Amino acid sequence: MNQLIAADPRIKSHVWNYSNVAVGVIKTEVDEKDYARSLCAKFIQLGAKGVAVQVVDVLKLQNSGGEDWEEIAYARCD
């Protein structure tokens, strides 16, 4: 799964936390809800069910010095 994330140029940063992954994207470059669902579909194909995907606005996060974590989409990979 790390290779899948690393290979996607839309993901500018990511954080794993147990069975959750947060991916930072530039909000204007993706349809965030479709993107979260597409990541889940790929994770499920790899056998990773039960993962939660958070899509966050990486520019807002960076501009706030890491303080302003805005979740712009969420999907549960079941």
Could you tell me whether strands 13-17 and 71-77 are parallel, antiparallel, or unpaired per DSSP bridges? Answer: unpaired
CA angle at 54 for the pair 15 and 33, rounded to the nearest 5°? 145
Q: Read off the amino acid at residue 59.
A: L
What was the pLDDT predicted at 41?
Answer: 95
Distance CA 36, CA 52 (A): 9
What's the pLDDT tens digit per position in 33-48? 999 999 999 999 999 8
Query: Is there a contact between 14 and 21 (Cβ–Cβ < 8 Å)?
Result: yes
Please report, for the chain, the start and end positions of each structural domain, with discontinuous segments joined by +. Answer: 2-77
What's the pLDDT tens digit per position in 3-16? 889 899 999 999 99
